[in-house]
Amino acid sequence: MTTALLFCVSMVSLGLFGLLYWRKRMRSVSALPVSDRVRAAAGIATTTVGALDFGAILRTHELLPDLRGSGDSFRALRAYFAVVQMLGRLIPSMAKWSEAELTSCARYAAVKVDQHLERNRTWSDQMRGK
């Protein structure tokens, strides 16, 4: 019994550590600048990417071909976005935190789409011998 309890506590701790590490990585990537070409491709008229732009960025990502194999489907990001959005709606005191997290998710997705576009351009240039 003690072994099972210790195992469960260890697994929860490992999962929490993994979530915090992933969130830190997401925050650092979302701090990078978002290019004009991503905002134009997603139809974002403002100079900043916000939480409301998340869907447009994901739709843009789905339209992009991946010239180097399977790409990131943002499954974990979509799930995190949905959970944080739900928490912000259900718990009013978390609304401000939720909005900041949702904006980080949208910016993260935009930066990753920009990196994807750059990889495709580089790969295409290599294929054409430039």
pLDDT value of residue 127: 78
Secondary structure letter of residue 92 according to DSSP: G
| pLDDT tens, position by position, 15-38 | 999 989 998 999 999 999 998 888
pLDDT value of residue 86: 95
pLDDT value of residue 64: 79
Q: Which of 3, 5, 109 is nearest to 51 (CA)?
A: 109
pLDDT value of residue 29: 92
**What is the count of structural domains for the chain?**
1
pTM score? 0.83
Please answer whether residues 38 and 114 qualify as being in contact, where contact means their C-beta atoms are separated by less than 8 angstroms.
yes
Give the residue numbers spanning the domain of 78.
2-127
| pLDDT tens, position by position, 50-101 | 999 999 999 988 887 765 555 567 888 999 999 999 999 999 999 999 999 9
pLDDT value of residue 118: 85
Please answer whether residues 49 and 29 qualify as being in contact, where contact means their C-beta atoms are separated by less than 8 angstroms.
no
116 pLDDT exceeds 90? no
The answer for residues whose C-beta is within 8 angstroms of residue 32's C-beta and 6 or more apart is 111
Residue 26's Cβ-side half-sphere holds a number of Cα atoms within 13 Å equal to 22
pLDDT value of residue 109: 93
The answer for residues whose C-beta is within 8 angstroms of residue 61's C-beta and 6 or more apart is 71, 74, 109, 112, 113, 116
Classify 94 as helix, strand or coil. helix
